[in-house]
Amino acid sequence: MRNLIKIALEGAFTNFKRIFFAADRVTDMDMKKQIATLSVEVDDRVDESACIGCSGCANVCPTNAIVMKPLAHPVKLTEGWVKDQVPEIILEKCVVCYYCHDFCPIFSLYGQKGAIHPSCVGDQEVDVSEFLEQPFKISDDKLKIIAQYLSDKTVLKNKEDGD
């Protein structure tokens, strides 16, 4: 009977033993309380302020786990560049391949933290319009790969020649 209860508990909540009884690691009290009350806060996976709305992440996603949602109020980033959409990750479809992060122009062209990340985007304070005005160096073959996934190629206007 004891084994049957153990199987039922572990089947209902696989991590029950580990979280509440520290079977193989210790979970802090705040996290235990959040889990028990079903109030765990999920980390941000998209930094909307750092995103430029190019839809490269949605176009490169192999499982179509990223959809672009329209912004209620479009944001002018630079002359000729208005952000009118941002990505949203559908977690049930995401296979955590990191293509979205790796193809994000903020990461791949400017070397900054990407505006999208399957696990957690983290905290960042960036002025995207500053980056879009700076020239960047990148090889032509890498630029070709990135460019084929961008809906709007405006971000590519500042490629620095002579690499």
Domain ranges of the chain: 2-36, 56-158
At residue 7, the pLDDT reads 63
CA 1 to chain centre: 45
In contact, 158 and 134? CB cutoff 8 Å = yes
Which among 149, 156, 4, 8 has a CA at the least distance from the CA of 68?
149
pTM of the predicted model over 0.75: no
What is the rounded distance in angstroms from the CA atom of residue 118 to the CA atom of residue 73? 25
Query: What sign does the dihedral 71-77-79-81 (CA atoms) show?
Result: negative
What is the rounded distance in angstroms from the CA atom of residue 163 to the CA atom of residue 161? 6
Taking only the tens place, the pLDDT of each residue in 82-141 is 889 999 998 888 888 888 888 888 787 777 777 787 766 566 666 666 666 766 666 777
Q: How confident is residue 24, by pLDDT bands cut at 50, 70 and 90?
A: low
At residue 125, the pLDDT reads 67
What is the rounded distance in angstroms from the CA atom of residue 148 to the CA atom of residue 132? 19
The SS3 call for residue 115 is: coil
Query: Which tokens in the block code for residue 115?
Result: 């505006």
At residue 4, the pLDDT reads 61
Q: According to the per-residue pLDDT averaged within each range, which of 72-81, 109-118, 140-149, 152-161 is highest?
A: 72-81
Residue with the two structure tokens 């193989």 = 24
Residue with the two structure tokens 């208005």 = 82
